[in-house]
Amino acid sequence: MEGQELYNSVQAALEEIRPFLQNDGGDISLVSIEDDKTVFVKLMGNCVGCSVNQMTLKSGVEMTIKKHAPQIEKVINTAQ
């Protein structure tokens, strides 16, 4: 999976998880994908100050992204 296909897969993963974040008053956006294995995202709204956002990032966001794009190794929140 390369370039645009990888980008589309990561966006599809974010679209899948977005309704759960929005239910809690938050959101997420894709910042960048580096070396085709690290995804940088930005958590927004209530997700920024939420005490469980690291857990959400690892168990929800990262797991969903890896399901859509298995070569992704890490998901990093840039708004820390």
Segment 65-79, tens digit of pLDDT: 999 999 999 999 887
**Which pLDDT value is given to residue 60?**
85
**Which pLDDT value is given to residue 40?**
96
The string of pLDDT tens digits covering residues 20-59 is: 889 989 899 999 999 999 999 998 887 777 777 677 777 7
**Which pLDDT value is given to residue 1?**
64
Q: Give just the sign of the alpha carbon dihedral 47, 11, 60, 78.
A: negative
Domains parsed from the chain with CATH numbers:
3-77 (3.30.300.130)
**Which pLDDT value is given to residue 42?**
92
Angle at 51 between CA 40 and CA 12, to 5 degrees: 35
What is the token pair recorded at 48?
A: 């920024």
Over residues 4-18, mean pLDDT: 95
**Which pLDDT value is given to residue 3?**
86
37 vs 69: CA distance, rounded Å = 9
